[in-house]
């Protein structure tokens, strides 16, 4: 329809009303846009034109034509208020392993609201995202976004997020402002996508791990990222056995010896160190002859084992002679 003309007093009165940063309209007081509550009685789940309490109240007389709001500030129809818009976004790397496989990515540490955060600069991401753990660390509360954001991941799964953090202070040589949607991430605290990179005309040189930001006034900011930390490649024993059996890979058997580990000696124990001479390394000989033979019978009534003479194998006989010679040398036995 057509808009009603505004007189001079209405125009001056509208200029004195501040513009709301949330909905963009001219009004005073708390903004309830996007909260799905009745503007008249603040009841959740109702709208002002469908509120049951409003139907019970007598209708107010119609406002005169000169009190009508201008067209640019007219409220949207109930159907548009009830249906929130949905934007499309894509994220190909939410952890470090996926980021290493994607070209045009670079990571590094930046300062966000005076807190160091691990940040990924990704040209394949449409929007900027921040993790909920990072929001708790910097002490910022997310607000409900005007439109929903449907995020497509590299696995094909889609996640819908409706919360957003605005006016974050990002320090890279100087303080830069950024907005980010809340997304669950594992390795990164902040992902800066094409919305932020294009706003600051970023020039990314992946080989040099360098980003140049072109700010208004011919100011340049250069940021040097860190090398991606390669994760160790681990394969299970069952999978390795299957690959070796099929001949898809080669296996190498490696024997490692730790030379730094030394066997402990009696001198390493503080208590034994004081009595090292009690038990010598080698016995000088057998026990001396005494007048009274003392022995302890482990099993009473058991005598020596009696076996009939038999011929031993040459190999066993040679081994037995070596053992007897060693015992004679140490003095454990004596020739009869």
pTM > 0.75: yes or no? no
User: CA angle 233-234-237, nearest 5°?
Assistant: 150
Question: Where residue 92 sits, what CATH number does that domain have?
Answer: 2.40.70.10
Burial-class residue 99 by CB neighbours within 10 Å (0-12, 13-18, 19+): buried
Q: Report the pLDDT averaged over residues 116-144.
A: 86
At residue 76, the pLDDT reads 44
pLDDT top residue among 273 and 9 = 273
Is the pLDDT at 95 greater than 80, yes or no? no
pLDDT-based confidence at residue 56 (cuts at 50, 70, 90)? low
Grade residue 323 by pLDDT with cuts at 50, 70 and 90: very high
Using an 8 Å Cβ cutoff, are 129 and 183 in contact? yes
45 and 162 part of one domain: no
Does some domain include residue 334? no
What are the tens digits of pLDDT across the range 234-259?
A: 778 888 888 888 887 888 888 887 77
Specify the higher pLDDT residue, 155 or 136.
Answer: 136
pLDDT of 102 above 70: no
Q: Kindly tell me if the per-residue pLDDT of 109 is higher than 60.
A: yes
Buried b / exposed e along 135-170 (16+ C-beta atoms within 10 A): beebebebeebeeebebeeeeeeeeebbbbbeebeb
Q: What are the CA-CA distances from residue 77 to residues 84, 87, 210 (Å)? A: 12, 21, 49
Do 206 and 92 fall into the same domain?
Answer: yes
- Looking at per-residue pLDDT, the higher value among 20 and 58 belongs to 20
> What are the distances in angstroms from CA 161 to CA 97, 142, 259?
23, 11, 56
> What's the pLDDT at 73?
40
Tell me: do 174 and 126 sit in the same domain. Answer: yes
**216 and 172 together in one domain:** yes
Report the pLDDT value the prediction gives residue 315, as an integer from 0 to 100: 92
The domain in which residue 134 lies consists of 88-224
Per the document, the length of the chain is 336
Residue 302 is assigned to a structural domain of this protein: no
Q: Are residues 99 and 169 in the same domain?
A: yes
Give residue 322's pLDDT: 93
Could you give the CA distance from residue 162 to residue 165 in angstroms, rounded to a whole number? 10
pLDDT at 81 over 50: no
Is the predicted pLDDT of residue 132 greater than 80, yes or no? yes
For residues 26 and 94, membership in a common domain is answered with: no
Rounded percentage of the chain residues whose pLDDT exceeds 90:
4
Q: Which helix (H) or strand (E) holds 191?
A: strand 190-192
Do 160 and 218 belong to one domain? yes
DSSP sequence for 150-190: EEEPTTS-EEEEEEEEEEEEEESSSEEEEEEEE---SS-SE
161 and 148 Cβ atoms separated by less than 8 Å: yes
Query: Predicted confidence band at 148 (pLDDT cuts at 50, 70, 90)?
Result: confident
CA-based nearest residue to 147, from 168, 161, 127: 161
Quick one: which H or E segment has residue 295? none
On whether both 155 and 35 belong to a single domain, the answer is no
Cβ atoms within 10 Å of 205's Cβ, excluding its own: 12
Same domain, 40 and 130: no
Q: What is the pLDDT of residue 264?
A: 75
Domain's final residue, options 165, 198, 224 = 224
Residue-wise burial string across 228-254, b where 16 or more C-beta atoms lie within 10 A, e elsewhere: eeeeeeeeeeeeeeeeeeeeeeeeeee
Considering the chain, what percentage of its residues have pLDDT values greater than 70? Answer: 65
Q: What is the pLDDT of residue 65?
A: 47
User: Using an 8 Å Cβ cutoff, are 30 and 23 in contact?
Assistant: no
- Residue 91: pLDDT above 70? no
Rounded to whole angstroms, how far apart are CA atoms 332 and 283?
8
Helix, strand or coil for residue 149?
A: strand
Considering its fold, how many domains does the chain have in total? 2
Tokens for 169, please give them.
Answer: 């202070």
| pLDDT for 325 beyond 80 | yes
Mean pLDDT of 130-155: 81
DSSP state of 113: T
Cα dihedral sign, 232-238-240-242: negative
Distances (CA, A) of 89 to 24, 84, 160, 205, 264: 24, 16, 10, 24, 63
Check pLDDT > 70 for residue 35. no
List the end-to-end C-alpha distance of the chain, in Å, as a whole number. 130
- What are the backbone angles phi and psi of residue 175, rounded to the nearest 5°? -80, 125
Do 35 and 143 sit in the same domain of this protein? Answer: no
pLDDT tens across 264-322, in order? 777 778 887 887 777 666 767 777 777 887 777 788 877 777 778 888 899 999 999 99
116 and 204 housed in the same domain? yes
Residue 36: inside a domain: yes
Q: What does 251-279 look like in DSSP terms, one character per residue?
A: --------TT-----GGGSHHHHTTTTSS
User: 177-221 pLDDT, tens per residue?
Assistant: 888 888 887 778 888 888 888 888 888 887 777 888 888 776 788
Assess if residue 119 is contained within a domain: yes
20-34, 49-63, 101-115, range with greatest mean pLDDT: 101-115
Q: What is the pLDDT of residue 54?
A: 60
């Amino acid at each position: 329809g057509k808009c009603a003309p505004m007189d001079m007093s209405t125009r001056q009165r509208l200029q004195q009303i501040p513009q709301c940063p949330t909905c963009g309209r001219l009004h005073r007081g708390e903004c309830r846009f996007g909260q799905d509550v009745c503007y008249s009685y603040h009841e959740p789940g109702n709208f002002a034109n469908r509120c049951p309490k409003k139907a019970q109240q007598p209708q107010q007389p119609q406002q005169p034509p000169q009190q009508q709001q201008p067209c640019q500030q007219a409220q949207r129809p109930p159907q548009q208020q009830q249906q929130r818009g949905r934007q499309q976004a894509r994220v190909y790397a939410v952890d470090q392993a996926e980021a290493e496989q994607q070209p045009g990515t670079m990571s590094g540490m930046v300062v966000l609201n005076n807190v160091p955060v691990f940040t990924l600069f990704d040209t394949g991401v449409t929007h900027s995202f921040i993790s909920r753990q990072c929001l708790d660390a910097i002490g910022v509360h997310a607000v409900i976004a005007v439109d929903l954001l449907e995020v497509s991941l590299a696995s094909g799964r889609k996640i819908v997020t409706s919360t957003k953090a605005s006016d974050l202070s990002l320090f890279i040589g100087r303080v830069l402002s950024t907005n980010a949607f809340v997304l669950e991430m594992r390795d990164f605290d902040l992902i800066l996508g094409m919305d932020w990179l294009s706003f600051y005309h970023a020039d990314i040189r992946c080989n040099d791990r360098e980003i140049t930001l072109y700010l208004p006034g011919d100011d340049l900011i250069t940021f040097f990222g860190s090398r991606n930390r390669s994760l160790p490649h681990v394969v299970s024993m069952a999978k390795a056995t299957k690959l070796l059996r099929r001949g898809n890979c080669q296996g190498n058997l490696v024997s490692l010896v730790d030379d730094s580990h030394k066997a402990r000696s009696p001198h390493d124990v503080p208590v034994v160190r004081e009595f090292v001479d009690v038990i010598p390394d080698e016995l000088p000989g057998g026990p001396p002859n005494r007048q009274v033979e003392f022995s302890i019978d482990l099993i009473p009534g058991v005598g020596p084992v009696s076996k009939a003479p038999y011929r031993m194998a040459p190999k066993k006989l040679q081994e037995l002679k070596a053992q007897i010679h060693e015992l004679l040398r140490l003095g454990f036995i004596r020739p009869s």
